[in-house]
Amino acid sequence: MADIIVPMYTLLDTTRAHDFSMQEEEFLSLVETFEKSLLEERKALLDAAQARDQEELHRTLHTLKGYLPFLCQASFCEQITELDQMVRGNQLDLVVQGVMSIMPHLDVLHAEIVQWQSSYHSKKG
């Protein structure tokens, strides 16, 4: 008998979204929206960091801070919150450095979401 391999995620935490007691259709829609938004916000965040655009950094970090808690490990959400607080405190150099350090994590989170979606749909199919 083959062992079932359950993917281990480092950043994705789907149990957090289920805490909101959504029905399955709502949950799947949330994950899809989350995945698309994450790609958009990742690009905006990188562009803002490279341009050292404090207003755009604040807007994008604030947006991420608002929706990441639905599907992301709490520790990573805390990093985003800290960066959001720092950008409001005029610590632009530290924020840019912090944003650049989280970029690989945003890529991992996106890959984990795509992997989860694929796994979910293959089980339902």
Q: Which domains does the chain have, with CATH numbers?
A: 31-124 (1.20.120)
Would you state the pLDDT for residue 21?
56
Q: Is the pLDDT of residue 81 over 70?
A: yes
Report the alpha-carbon distance of residue 89 to residue 20 in Å, rounded: 32
12 in Cβ contact with 52 (< 8 Å): no
Q: Is the pTM of this model over 0.85?
A: yes
- Give 32-63 pLDDT, tens digit per residue: 999 999 999 999 999 999 999 999 999 999 99
- Give 89-115 pLDDT, tens digit per residue: 889 999 999 999 999 999 999 999 999
Would you state the pLDDT for residue 1?
38
Taking the CA atoms of 50, 54, 55 and 59 in sequence, report the sign of the dihedral they define: positive
- The full DSSP string for the chain is -PPPPPPP-SSB-HHHHHTT---HHHHHHHHHHHHHHHHHHHHHHHHHHHHT-HHHHHHHHHHHHHHGGGTB-HHHHHHHHHHHHHHHTT-HHHHHHHHHHHHHHHHHHHHHHHHHHHHHHHHH-
83 in Cβ contact with 96 (< 8 Å): no
Give the residue with greater pLDDT, 11 vs 19. Answer: 11
103 in Cβ contact with 46 (< 8 Å): yes
